[in-house]
Amino acid sequence: MPASAAPASATAAAPAPVSRRRLLQASGASAAVIALGITAPTASAEEGPQPEGLFSLGVASGAPRPDGAVLWARLAPEPLAEDGHGGMELRDVTVRWHVAKDPEFRQIAARGQALAQPELAHAIHPKVEGLDPATDYYYRFSVGRQNSPVGRFRTLPAQGADVESFSVGVVSCQAWYHGHFTAHKHLAAEEELDLVVFVGDYIYEYAITASNLWRQGVEVGPAHQVETETLEQYRLRYALFKLDPHLQAVHARVPAVAVWDDHEVQNDYVGGGSSTGIPEDQFAYRIAVAYRAFYENMPLDIEALPEGPDSDITTGFDVGSLARFSLLDTRQFRDPAPMDAEDQQDPDRTMLGAEQEAWVTERLEQSPALWNVMANGVVVAAITEDRTDMWDGYPAARQRLLDAMVASSNPVVLTGDIHKHVAAELLADFTDPGSGTIGVELICTSVGSDGDGAKTDNYTDDWTQHEYVKHYDGRRGYIHLRFTPEELVSSFYVVDWIEADDTAPKQLSARFTTPAGDPRLIQA
């Protein structure tokens, strides 16, 4: 998996230019300290009374495995404290956790403790092991007499096991300020749900001002009215978004896995490069704090803990013999936007970086799974040549990915970014309309970004001009997937409004079946 980004060019820094590579070499010693937030320490911190409301940001689980998962909590009695520390004193706090087979916690399956430290904004990521596969578990945290809400997760089936079905929610683009998280409310209530996949833009870095605060019934103070740049500002932004009760309900319901897109750092940033002209060796400091805040606020495994401006969120897991998931980082290792049409067609251009590309190629080619699912931040299907932030800006890299998909069984790509529901079939070669369908791409609309929206808009024709695009809907919502040995059923849900309140009922925008062995989209 990717270990480091390509060295950055040495653009001018004042007063003494320092290359990003040199900065990387100087980083990393804090990892040992921070590891105490993951595994149980042998010694407890000195305890004192803690303020009420420690678990205001809810609970979460992630990194699911057949024998366990990563649990997550971040202590924050004043979640919107402007220093990003959630109202906690700047000292360590021991957090106990329990995992049980029943919601009343009578059958304890595992227990432990983790040290919540100010280095990680008092976030903890204990890793639970030794559990049974394909089993429902309940978990909660406690500090003193305070208990967290109860979360639930289901361990993955054993490696190679037969699986009758596996259900997944797909969400993206959570511009909290554009409206209520009604989509999360409906997703959390789904009858069948084993996992939620966040496909990018979990937060937005933009200043929240009168011009973009469309979520009615809320106000934000001056600390939120600036673009996030410092660690405290990113921490505060995550806290603001994660206070949403519907988002908390989704996290408490099922394990979450996540890839990022650009807004976890800055709009349209590329690799180590800013979109606003900030020299690369300086932008590295912003990337470092943004990636740290992402780790702190998501139920991620320790591998995702950044070292300076480098983080490894590329990961994967198998759901028995039914499905293999690969989570791709389409931001950190990509080449810059093309300078011109010739550059765009350069066969050496990369979206994933050489190491990650080799990793996912091997996973696809050697996969024993029936369904091969890739989650990534930007659209793979060819739409228009000027959408250079998507794989359209990297056609040679796209072709290499498509070639790898051909070698696998039933490839499925999950994507976000565009704030529209789009269902597309993936061609073996997008320059050859007769090359045949090799898989499907299910692009999830936003949870919040762009507010209410409408079924059709100014961009509809760009997408639906292609025969391989089978559906378009510009409203907010989520996708529900149900994988079985026979088929994949993808249900695109929408809500008609999110700005006024969170009461909009969900509507089925479209439903497709994709037969195993014939990966195309059939309207159901």
Residue ranges binding other proteins (CB under 8 A): 13-16, 18, 23-24, 26-30, 33, 83-85, 90, 92, 117-121, 207, 209, 222, 225-227, 229-232, 275-278, 282, 285-286, 288-289, 292, 307-309
Distance CA 228, CA 353 (A): 27
In angstroms, what is the minimal distance from the CB of 34 to other proteins?
8
Q: Do 85 and 91 meet the contact criterion of CB atoms below 8 Å apart?
A: no
In angstroms, what is the minimal distance from the CB of 209 to other proteins?
8
In angstroms, what is the minimal distance from the CB of 25 to other proteins?
9
Q: Which of 95, 196, 184 is nearest to 148 (CA)?
A: 95
Distance CA 36, CA 68 (A): 19
Q: Which CB sits closer to other proteins, 209 or 523?
A: 209
Q: Which of 437, 390, 439, 395 is nearest to 417 (CA)?
A: 390
Question: Which residues lie below 8 Å from residue 171, measured CB to CB, with a gap of 6+?
Answer: 183, 184, 187, 196, 197, 198, 199, 250, 416, 444, 447, 478
Q: Which of 257, 340, 271 is nearest to 301 (CA)?
A: 257
Q: Which of 458, 460, 494 is nearest to 478 (CA)?
A: 494
Distance CA 269, CA 331 (A): 8
In angstroms, what is the minimal distance from the CB of 292 to other proteins?
6
In angstroms, what is the minimal distance from the CB of 74 to other proteins?
14
Q: Which CB sits closer to other proteins, 386 or 461?
A: 386
In angstroms, what is the minimal distance from the CB of 18 to other proteins?
6
In angstroms, what is the minimal distance from the CB of 121 to other proteins?
8
Q: Which CB sits closer to other proteins, 50 or 167?
A: 50
Three-class secondary structure of residue 220 per DSSP = coil
Q: What angle do CA 158, 162, 167 make, to 5 degrees?
A: 85
Q: Which amino acid is at 273?
A: G
- The answer to whether the bond into 77 is cis (omega within 30° of 0) is no
Q: Which CB sits closer to other proteins, 122 or 471?
A: 122
Distance CA 524, CA 514 (A): 10
Q: Which CB sits closer to other proteins, 109 or 289?
A: 289
In angstroms, what is the minimal distance from the CB of 278 to other proteins?
7
Q: Which CB sits closer to other proteins, 275 or 460?
A: 275
Q: Which CB sits closer to other proteins, 83 or 365?
A: 83
Q: Which amino acid is at 472?
A: Y
Q: Which CB sits closer to other proteins, 158 or 207?
A: 207
Exposed/middle/buried for 366, CB within 10 Å: 0-12, 13-18, 19+?
A: exposed
